[in-house]
Structure 1
């Protein structure tokens, strides 16, 4: 009986969590198929009456959707490459520091940037990038994403590199490998699942990021997450809720498909890091 209750409790928690994740998406999709005047109650939104594709047509015609989609792809993929190129060697170098005290100081210095709310950093970044001439460009947004994601990616990769036995690298050095060859040919292939998981998470975070793009992107360099705000309207115009829902539904389609395909790589990579750490 206790086992049955335990199983029933776990099942209830799982179903509750599934509802929390799925129901908002269901409401978003159903709302995208309704005119704004049917947004009074949740039952009206979830009903099948008055369904139309007009909101999607308006979102695609008046929202520069494909321009913003291109910007989102450029920002996400470029930030992914920059983050991995910078953070992977950094994490490896930290794990190979000779002193634990040195490791702790460097790790704390890197992670301390996560202690501040991003909104606190957005305005100083805007002023700095304006002086450098990259405010309103994709380059500025990509650099902001590097600053945002570096602590998390370094922290993840630390766990993977720490799980590599030092004896393996010592054997490579005895065989004549240089420090870079040891990193590139020995250590990096051993943490490839973790690298894949970190890359996927970095891509998803960059694609969904709003705050830095809102402050730093120009009118023609905005990603999808900022482009949707053009339908929110002002006091006189009012929000076009149906179009906003349609735009939001279009935004989440690429990332949901990507997450479904990449899910097994995320799970296997993070599981490997947990076991080794």
Structure 2
């Protein structure tokens, strides 16, 4: 009887060890909706898991919400794209290391009929002024994401404040992700700001076309941020570091740069030469 009990105890210990090991070999990545909606993560995460055995569970949110998720300790790593909000996160002491992994750009898309007559230009601010002057429909994500922050920065340069915009009927704040904003713009023949990656992988374009591109103010950088162990102590930070290191490694950068939709590269690897 004693031997049987010893065997049962050993089985229980081994089960606990295996369960703990499996738990430690997974991490939670708080990431932007644009990185997931573009289709990048489903392509590169299996490559990392095959290399390391570490599973990456993604929580896709706007950058603001992703940063808050990490602040609460509900994520092990961040992949975001709002430089100002990221800097605040680092200044608060929540992050230990911040590295750029890739860039693409934002674009303004709108109906092919182009009521604001902005199509073909490269001045995003002038385009927004024309849209506001005509009161042409404009869709805002309104979700405190990196894309939403970039949009509002451009509106401020164009002389419009968020409070003033939200009083306008032509300006629609949907409080949703990039795919939702593009769907709304397609349904309403409206303009919107999109990251290029999500736009290229978006299948419900309808009459939407690229109206504005090439403005240096439309540069869109993606950073991976490791958490500060002094504020966010946990066994998973080591596994999170492995993923962050992989993203900036030659293998990770090749995986990012190799992702294409219809022959077009969605992200430009930039770990070695940050923009």
Instruction: Indicate the TM-score class for this superposition, using the shorter chain for normalisation.
Output: under 0.3
Larger Rg over CA atoms: 1
After TM superposition, the score normalised by the length of structure 1 is 0.27
* More strand, by proportion: 2
> 1 or 2, which has the higher helix percentage?
1
